[in-house]
Amino acid sequence: MIIDRAVIENFGSFRGRNELELSPDGKKNITLIVGHGGAGKSTVGQAIRWALYNRKFSEVGESENDEVYSKEDVFKQFFREGGGAMKEGPPAENHISVQLVVTPSESVKKALEAHRYKFGEYALEREASVGKIVSKPGDVILPPLSLKGPDQRSILYPEGFIEEYFLPASMSSFFMFHGDRIKDLTRHIEGSPVTDDIKKVLDVQAMENAANDLQQIMTRFSRNVTTASKDDTRRKELDLEITKIEGQITKLQGQIGEKESLLKEKTERITELEREHRDLLDVAGKLGEYDEKVRAMKGLEGDRDKIEEKKRALLDVFPREALYHTLYSRALKVKEIHRKNEQHRQNAEDVRRQLSQVEKLKPGQKCSVCGQPFPEEMVDQRKKQIEHLNEEIAKEERAIVPLKPEFQMLMRTVIGFENIKYDPKGLQEELYEKRSQVANLDHDITELGKKLGDYTKPAVRDRADEVTVEMNRLSTEQGGLKKEIAGYKKAIDQYTDVQKERSRELAKLGDQASRKAKERFDLADKLHDVFADTVDELAFEKRDEIAKKTGKILMELTIKPELFHREAPVEVDEEFQVRAINKDGNVLEWDRQSSSEKTILSLSFIYGLLSASEKDAPIVLDTFFGKLDPNHIDKFLERLPSFGPQIILITTLEEFSALLDRKSSPFWKYVARYIFLFNDESTGNATRINTISSLDQSVKELEIQVQAKRKESVKR
């Protein structure tokens, strides 16, 4: 696995939300975390181990086995006023959490997908809280560990998932530890739990699991072989019964086909009737509207006639003005004729536009899209449509009444009668309004009549009633057919269940099943032997690979090669315990002057274990350079980038300064970032983070921090 990101909140000396980018950047696989004593460096390692395993980041002389956090241990990690390093006093924050974004090794991708998990970034969070202002360890609330996959789906058993697909907890102690424990690292492989986890990381455990699974399968196959029956009489009876059932199923399927065909016809007919029924209802509505407009028009015509009658009565009372009235009336009639002429012209123009949109088709003409000739029936229909539109145009043009110049002359004459006292203006305007209303309504009736076409007959309502009755009848028949089909299908399902039951019984009785069970048992037996041999062979190869890799790098790093056997300086036994071998081929007995060499052996074992491993593992080393002989450091720095895909080095200001004296080492080109941690009274003793990507800038930051600590010391 690779730890891409860590978010630490109110944990130890970290106050608030603090994000640390830890992912490798291509070949740059090293992250350096630098800080003075108490700045929160080891807290980063503690936070990672707590989040992943609820286990401690080991301190001097402490054992790693089963060292989980108690409530009291968690309580001490809450941020306090004055800094997280101060364990006295109540917590300043009531909630802590550590979130990690982790990417599994590429080697487990297929295993994840086989169990329907996504491969990608996984987000885990471990948190704790206290609900009281003045809290005690017993008040700590520890929610379950949260682990979500790339699809944001929560993992049901996150601890088991981490053990299986990330890195086992006991194995992590080989890759995440404080520098004071590095000498004792090779002695940590004691007992089967750690050995099993090493096998799991090396994929040896997977082979053992496969062999155990095969043993269980062989047991089941053996029972099948011994209990298989060969009752021929019962088998023949079952064969005959199954044949009869198949005949019944075939018969029912044929009946279903007939009913479904009939159901399809009725459904299509119902669809046609529903369409016609909608059209009839629409026509019925228009017929009502048509009748209403006709009645309204008759009323308007009556009003118009009354006004004209009143106007004629006025002519009898004022005969002198008869000439004026006659001329005025004539002018209005001519104006009305002019209005109707304009309406006819407009109608003719509308039909012409409609005609221009209709494509003329000739016999034998082909479609521009598909290239096929248009059907003769379509050509005839198109021709009739064009003829009908031409007739409509001619009809509208014939309706236009030519107007003579008398219209202008009449209007001038009417205007000249200024001295006449008779003024029918009000009556004439009322008459004109009624005539306009009659004309507009007449136009509406005409347009509505065009839309109705042949549907202006009372038979429309009768046809609508007939369609409704037929639809109801067909719907009833449709429901009956569906019910019959459902009954047939249910019967088929019942026959199918009986058929399956008889087939299973027949399979148990047949000698063919017994023969197949025997073949499977023999094959499983052979596979079990192969897997068992493969487990031993794979474990041997992995141990041999670890021993060779560890010995090779040990001899490259050591400054005392005379202590070790030249060809096989390291051996790894069946329990994966590592022993250094002296020049005579015996187990090396360490003396007090070999402290640095023991450290080198531990680091070499880490390299050998990771080289043989099928899974990636991040290496987190906390202030361990002080445990190395200065003569070892140059060699170690040169090889460190090749140890694993992700390396997190935690150093003090003094260690980092000492490393800078070796700026010529190729080590620096593999450093992805420098994370400086700092706290003092100016930060409220809360850790401040400064991430730098340049070596030169990190040198300047080192000088700033050293000066700041000097000032603080003088102040004290």
Q: Assign 19 a pLDDT band (cuts: 50, 70, 90).
A: very high
Q: Are 142 and 162 in contact (CB under 8 A)?
A: no
Sign of CA dihedral 607, 609, 611, 617: negative
**What predicted TM-score, i.e. pTM, was given to this entire model?**
0.55
pLDDT single digits (tens) 232-254: 567 777 778 888 888 888 888 88
**Which range among 59-73, 184-198, 501-515, 673-687 has the greatest average pLDDT?**
673-687
pLDDT at 419: 41
pLDDT at site 147:
95
- The alpha carbon of residue 663 and the mean position of all alpha carbons in its chain are separated, in whole angstroms, by 47
pLDDT of 590: 75
Tell whether 240 is covered by a domain.
Answer: yes
Helix axes 630-639, 511-557, angle to 10 degrees: 140
Per-range mean pLDDT, top range of 113-127, 235-249, 272-286: 113-127
pLDDT tens per residue, range 82-97: 665 455 678 888 999 9
What is the pLDDT at residue 373? 85
255, part of any domain = yes
How high is the pLDDT of residue 601? Answer: 82
| Domain presence at residue 171 | no
Flag the least confident range among 113-122, 428-437, 474-483: 428-437
pLDDT confidence bin for 205, thresholds 50/70/90: very low
- The whole-number pLDDT of residue 322 equals 58
- pLDDT for residue 677: 95
620 and 48 Cβ atoms separated by less than 8 Å: yes
**Cα–Cα distance, 421 to 200 (Å, whole number):** 122
In this structure, of 69-73, 224-228, 254-258, 463-467, the range with the lowest mean pLDDT score is 224-228
- Mean pLDDT on 512-535: 59
- Quick one: which of 427, 443, 445 has its CA closest to 306? 427
Is residue 502 one of the residues assigned to a domain? yes
Contact 132, 139 (CB under 8 A): yes
Q: What is the per-residue pLDDT across 215-225, written as a single tens digit (0 to 9) for each?
A: 555 555 555 55
Half-sphere exposure of 273 (CA within 13 A, CB side): 19
Nearest to 286 by CA among 99, 72, 456: 456
| 338 against 520, higher pLDDT | 338
Cβ proximity of 276 and 471 under 8 Å = no
- Distance (Å) of CA 351 to CA 125, 172, 324, 380, 704: 76, 89, 41, 20, 92
- Identify which of 219, 211, 163 has the alpha carbon closest to the alpha carbon of residue 1: 163
Residue-level pLDDT at 594: 67
Cα(333)–Cα(340) distance, rounded to whole angstroms? 11
User: Span 380-390, mean pLDDT?
Assistant: 87
Structure confidence at residue 687 (pLDDT): 92
Q: Which of 692, 712, 668, 602 is nearest to 33 (CA)?
A: 692
Q: According to the per-residue pLDDT averaged within each range, which of 19-23, 436-440, 456-460, 507-511 is highest?
A: 19-23
Where are the alpha helices (H) located in 318-405, listed in sequence order? 322-356, 376-398
Which backbone phi and psi does 17 adopt, to 5 degrees?
-95, 125
Q: How many CB atoms lie within 10 A of CB 432?
A: 15
Tens of pLDDT, residues 307-323? 777 776 665 555 545 56
Q: State which amino acid sits at residue 511.
A: D
pLDDT tens digits, 587-598: 888 776 667 777
Read off φ and ψ for residue 293, nearest 5 degrees: -70, -35
Question: What's the pLDDT score for residue 502?
Answer: 79
Which is it for strands 17-21 and 2-9: parallel, antiparallel or unpaired? antiparallel
- Token pair in block for residue 216: 């269980």
Q: What is the share, in percent, of the chain residues with pLDDT greater than 70?
A: 74
pLDDT higher than threshold 60 for residue 296: yes
Q: What is the pLDDT of residue 421?
A: 45
Range of the structural domain that residue 263 is part of: 231-300+453-509
Position 238 in a domain: yes
């924050």: which residue's tokens?
93
Residue 472 lies in a domain: yes
Asked if 15 and 79 touch (Cβ cutoff 8 Å), the reply is yes
Write out pLDDT tens, residues 157-195.
999 899 888 888 877 777 777 665 555 555 554 444 456
d(CA 619, CA 702): 24
Q: CA–CA separation, 493 vs 294, rounded Å?
A: 65
pLDDT of residue 711: 83
CA 191 to CA 203: how far, in whole Å? Answer: 19
Distance of CA 247 to the CA centre of its chain: 48
Q: Is the pLDDT of residue 331 over 80?
A: no
**Using one digit for the tens of pLDDT, what is the confidence trace for 446-487?**
776 666 665 555 667 677 778 888 888 888 888 888 888 888
Tell me how many domains the chain contains: 1
What is the distance between the terminal CA atoms of the chain, rounded to a whole angstrom?
Answer: 45
Helix (H) or strand (E) holding 134: none
Q: How does strand 176-178 pair with strand 619-622?
A: parallel
| Residues ≥6 apart with Cβ < 8 Å to 594 | 560, 563
DSSP 193-239: HHHHHHHHHTTHHHHHHHHHHHHHHHHHHHHHHHH----HHHHHHHH
Residues 352-368, mean pLDDT to the nearest whole number: 81
At 607, list the tokens.
């390299």
Per-residue model confidence (pLDDT) at position 148:
95
Would residue 242 count as lying in a domain?
Answer: yes
pLDDT, average across residues 50-61: 76
Average pLDDT, the chain: 79
Check residue 193 and give its pLDDT: 45
DSSP string covering 136-148? -GGGEE-PPPEEE
Give the pLDDT confidence score for residue 415 in this predicted structure. 57
